Amino acid sequence: MVASPQTEKFAACLRMLKDRSGRGYDRLGKEAGVSGSSLHRYCSGLSVPTDYRVVHAFAKVCGASAEELRELHRLWALADTDRDVPAVTAKENPDPEPDAPALPLTQASPGPEDPVVPAQANPGPDDATPPEITPDETEKPRRSRVPEKLSSRFAILAAVVAVVLVAGFVWLPFGRPAGASPAADDRLLFSPACETVSMGQHDECVREVQTLLVRAKGRLAVDGDFGPETLRRLTAFQVLAGVTARNVVDEDTKNALYAQKVSMATWSPTQVAKRIRAVFVEDPDTAVAIARCASFLDPLWVLPNTNGSRNWGVFQISDARLRELDGTPLRAFDPEWNIKAAHRLWSAHRDFHDWPSCEAALKDTPKS
């Protein structure tokens, strides 16, 4: 079998990674979870793996960079598409015969009103239209039908071409033949290099997540470092987008980030402090100090606990308290609801014992 140009490029990329690793097919196969003989076929261009995960695993054990992984995925997608199109050679598939014998351009098809005249062996320029035989067996010059027939034929051909072109333009953006490989997604987070994006990671995938969060009005630095700040903003975004907050950037989160339908715009610290004073009329200064200690007056603040639960919003209301207050993380991100819910907790004992750490910190702070 002769490999297609795309398959050859894909195989060459695999060979380059294999040679650079300095390891044999069997050893690489064990590490990548595939047989050495299969890797040899892939690197030789004899076959293309149907599952890209095999390619990704092979490339990772060979030490491929993020850029190399993206390029390898592109080459695999092209080679995978070529595999579904059988190679055609002149010997295997000669030019197809037309459905009906093609008539010479200088001779029209006989119509019902025309007598069938045997074709001449070598018609010359003057023999293009056979003479009409009159009843008295004398030849009468006859007007050629060629221009009319040719015009009709060219009109039909033009119509067919137009239909094919229109069908092609309609097909391109909206569909592909059944069984064809899906088009490669050029969005960075959907590339193999960004298959997982999680805490502790530092690369362009994290930078892309941060950029998309900032585009959604999230407040954070774009530095490519997945730390606590990024995790807080990611969790808030996931809650606002209605996807499961799993501390990682999964497929649902990627789709929501690129859709850009979620806004993380919220109240400023000044607005939050003003509203707290209006609600906690009994002790406004202490209430503002507690909220500043808990969340820096940030309505979208999230703090994970060691037991797996989280605290939410301005007053960092815990999951357990949210259930008691008939609340949800989404409601807790509404500063109006959060401040009033905190006042309900304060009203039970008219103190801030629900925020023991901040209350203790305030008591230990010397007054100026």
Write out pLDDT tens, residues 121-132. 444 444 444 444
Instruction: Yes or no: say if 264 and 218 are a contact pair by the CB < 8 Å rule.
Output: yes
Q: How confident is the model at residue 364 (pLDDT cuts 50, 70, 90)?
A: low
Q: Please write the tens of the pLDDT for every residue from 283-299.
A: 999 999 999 999 999 99
Q: Please write the tens of the pLDDT for every residue from 64-76.
A: 887 787 788 878 7
**Based on the domain organization, do 360 and 280 belong to the same domain?**
yes
Query: What pLDDT does 154 receive?
Result: 60
Instruction: Yes or no: say if 34 and 5 are a contact pair by the CB < 8 Å rule.
Output: no
Question: Residue 186, Cα to own-chain centre: how many angstroms?
Answer: 6
Domain range for residue 358?
A: 269-364
Domain boundary pick from 59, 83, 107? 83
**Based on the domain organization, do 210 and 249 belong to the same domain?**
yes
Total Cβ atoms within 10 A of residue 174:
7
Contacts (Cβ under 8 Å, ≥6 apart) of 331: 322, 337, 338
- CATH number of the domain encompassing residue 221: 1.10.101.10
Higher local confidence (pLDDT), 153 or 333: 333
What distance in Å separates the CA atoms of residue 190 and residue 188, rounded to the nearest whole number?
5
**Based on the domain organization, do 273 and 249 belong to the same domain?**
no
Q: Please write the tens of the pLDDT for every residue from 233-277.
A: 999 999 999 999 989 999 999 999 999 999 999 999 999 999 999
Domain boundary pick from 83, 102, 132? 83
Q: How many structural domains comprise the chain?
A: 3
Question: Helix, strand, or coil here: 267?
Answer: coil
**Residue 88 included in any domain:** no
**Based on the domain organization, do 273 and 360 belong to the same domain?**
yes
Instruction: Yes or no: say if 338 and 300 are a contact pair by the CB < 8 Å rule.
Output: no
Domain boundary pick from 209, 224, 259? 259
- CATH number of the domain encompassing residue 309: 1.10.530.10
Strand partners, 139: 133
Instruction: Yes or no: say if 310 and 304 are a contact pair by the CB < 8 Å rule.
Output: yes
**Residue 177 included in any domain:** no
Q: What is the mean pLDDT of residues 341-357?
A: 94
